[in-house]
Structure 1
Amino acid sequence: MSKGSVFVSVACTALLLAVTVGCTTNPVEKHADAAPPSGASAGKPKQTAANTQHTRQSKEELVLSFYKDSSLSDEAKVRHMTDHLAGIQWGKMNEINEHLSLEIIEYLYRQRAFIPSESFPNVIRASEGLDGALSESYAGLMGDLFTRDRTAMTRALANMDKTNRTQGIGSIGYALSYREPKEVKKEIQQWQAGQKLTTAEKDVIRALFVKLDNPY
């Protein structure tokens, strides 16, 4: 066989191998592209039975369930409870269990140190169905929260709808009226002097002063 024939034969063989390799690798790449990435569906949240149950529960039932959960610390209980306080109806709570509303409000009062400032709006909105002893206990809670963090409570009240703002200011004024009103006003004025309050926040303080003079 001549050198030219050998060269042509080798070249043809190399070309045939290249074509064969190309044909066998493409399908593999195609299948690799088509295969879903590992764990692609793992990032999709699944609704658990516990979440579904909580979704179906009313605010009153949720607050009660956290209150009765003995596996939670007081701090965790209070945080979970205050997360769901907004819009709660204490009358409905009593329908579930008589006198339970008072028990829960008094519990929150005892554990008020665990109520975070960011939960103040929820506490303000938890005034539906208050009367008698409930109002007294709720007012005590609101008064202490205001005294602890005047800035956060004043801001929360200023951003509240008129009904809840009026109710909240009334509760705080009633609670603080057990002290000498002049002394309370003096303390608030001293605090206010170091603040840059908005017009709405100043209105809250003015309304509170009026309530201190006439808490009933």
Structure 2
Amino acid sequence: MAEVIGLAASVIAIIDLSAKVATLCLQYSTAVGNARDDIVRLRRRLDNLVTTLQGVRHLLSDLNNPALATSRKLLDSVEGCTTELAKLQGRLDSGKARMAMRRFGLRAFKWPFDSKEVSGIISNLERHEQTITLSLQIDQTTLLLNIRQRIEGVSLQPEEDASIVRKPCFTVPFERDPDFVDRPDIIAWLKEQYTRPAGRMALVGMGGFG
């Protein structure tokens, strides 16, 4: 349970951090002209990451599913994603950048990455996202298999042998009809059919005729 709560808190923190980085990217995109394509690529990756993490947060919001937090890879990927975003935020929101912006405005902004670095950052974020998604799928599959085994365990309870003819608990003491015509041959045939291992019997007749 504690792992689920801790993981959910980490996911919320990553969503918040991703939003801050996306805001910084937007500020750079309005001031930097030669790196807008890289900024757009990075923002798209951040948007996809946030969408995935929001789904993760929804799954983890159900505290009755502690199995979703059993994956070590899931925890490692969340931590790795946090580290990657923190570094990215530090580069985009450095002290020098803030000082230059205060002195010269947005024109002082300089995109701190080249295209190769941006591609590497995008690749790392995508890898963490895929690992998080895959780990959750594995955990969910494990949980579903456990549920299925429990259901099958219930259905596999030892059943009574249907071939055993059991005596009735009681009989209703109807008085014998004086007009009743006994048919021993039919009675014997019915008993023979009923006592067979796969015997089945059905009475067909008009209602009210007994």
TM-score, with length taken from structure 2: 0.25
For the pair shown, which has the larger CA radius of gyration, 1 or 2? 2
- TM-score normalised according to structure 1 size: 0.25
Q: RCO greater where, 1 or 2, for CA within 8 Å and sep 6 or more?
A: 2
